[in-house]
Amino acid sequence: MAGVDFVDVRKSFGAIPVIKGVNIEIEDGEFVILVGPSGCGKSTLLRMLAGLENISAGEILIGDKVVNALPPKNRDIAMVFQNYALYPHMTVADNMAFSLMLNGSPKAEIEKRVGTAAGILGLSKLLDRYPRQLSGGQRQRVAMGRAIVRDPQVFLFDEPLSNLDAKLRVAMRAEIKELHQRLKTTTVYVTHDQIEAMTMADKIVVMHDGIVEQIGSPLDLYDSPANLFVAGFIGSPA
Ligand code: ADP
Ligand code: MG
């Protein structure tokens, strides 16, 4: 496991700055949620951490290693996307095994890891199914299974529940938290949903227009919002 540090991170697309000097310290094992309105830069920050987007200035560290120039596969992180990105022509087992197969892991090791992840996620009886034969919640679990089998230092989630209906969303929040309590893997989770942030996070980072407005526990933000934006966004009395 490892913590994550953003140090004065900046990003422009062409001449347009979208991340304007962001500092965030994430402790080893923490569950941190980046929250803020659509377009404020949450996905861009996550994609820079994953190595899917270059950074324009500053430093990103995973553990004590600066990763600015490292390709995604050398960062020891696993990302769960909003649209799941499952391979439709592969079974649940093969979807989970695929990245390990690419790495050349031994077959027995792959089977063990897939079996363990499937057990944790309640997928053991669905390993031979194809994605089209699964419910939305089950697909979401397979997407998480693909991340878990890699046993990464850091999990990244980008709005993983936004395609689910309200009832399932609430259930999956609890599942993701239980998973974190079990594995204790450092997690950076993006959402635009204040309730998700307030109910799931150890620490919340409130973003607005490319900057961080406040970092604190859900209670800190509720009791002592730094400004009107945070108060309005979190929904507490200013
Ligand atoms: P969020 O995830 O908070 O909704 P994003 O990180 O996706 O926000 O986007 C932040 C800003 O950067 C938005 O104004 C968006 O239009 C812009 N942006 C994101 N990706 C690109 C890109 N590849 N090229 C140009 N602009 C982009
Ligand atoms: Mg986004």
Residue whose token pair is 């057990």: 119
41 lines ligand 1 (CB under 6 A): yes
pTM above 0.80, yes or no: yes
What one-character-per-residue DSSP string does 124-193 give? Answer: GGGTT--GGGS-HHHHHHHHHHHHHTT--SEEEEESTTTTS-HHHHHHHHHHHHHHHHHH--EEEEEES-
38 lines ligand 1 (CB under 6 A): yes
Atom 13 of ligand 1, residue of closest alpha carbon: 39
164 lines ligand 1 (CB under 6 A): no
Distance from Cα 213 to the centre of ligand 1, integer Å: 18
Atom 26 of ligand 1, residue of closest alpha carbon: 13
| Mean pLDDT of all residues belonging to the chain | 93
* Ligand 1 atom nearest to 37, measured from its CA: 3
Confidence of residue 235 (pLDDT cuts 50, 70, 90): confident
- Which pLDDT score, from 0 to 100, does residue 221 have? 95
Instruction: Enumerate residues 6+ apart whose C-beta is below 8 A from 135.
Output: none
Q: What is the CA radius of gyration of the chain?
A: 18
- Which pLDDT score, from 0 to 100, does residue 104 have? 87
- Which pLDDT score, from 0 to 100, does residue 234 have? 86
E strand intervals along the chain: 4-13, 16-26, 31-35, 57-62, 65-66, 77-80, 154-158, 186-191, 203-208, 211-216
Instruction: State how far the Cα of 224 lies from the Cα of 219, in Å rounded to an integer.
Output: 8
34 lines ligand 1 (CB under 6 A): no
pLDDT in tens, 44-102: 999 999 999 999 999 999 999 999 999 998 999 999 887 778 999 999 999 999 989 98
Q: Report the pLDDT averaged over residues 22-27.
A: 98
Instruction: State how far the Cα of 107 lies from the Cα of 228, in Å rounded to an integer.
Output: 55
191 lines ligand 1 (CB under 6 A): no
Tokens matching residue 238: 């200013």
- Which pLDDT score, from 0 to 100, does residue 236 have? 64
18 lines ligand 1 (CB under 6 A): yes
Distance from Cα 135 to the centre of ligand 1, integer Å: 30
Task: Please tell me what DSSP assigns to residue 107.
Answer: H
Q: Which residues surround ligand 2, an ion (CB under 5 A)?
A: 43
Confidence of residue 238 (pLDDT cuts 50, 70, 90): low
Atom 7 of ligand 1, residue of closest alpha carbon: 43
Q: Report the pLDDT averaged over residues 15-44.
A: 97
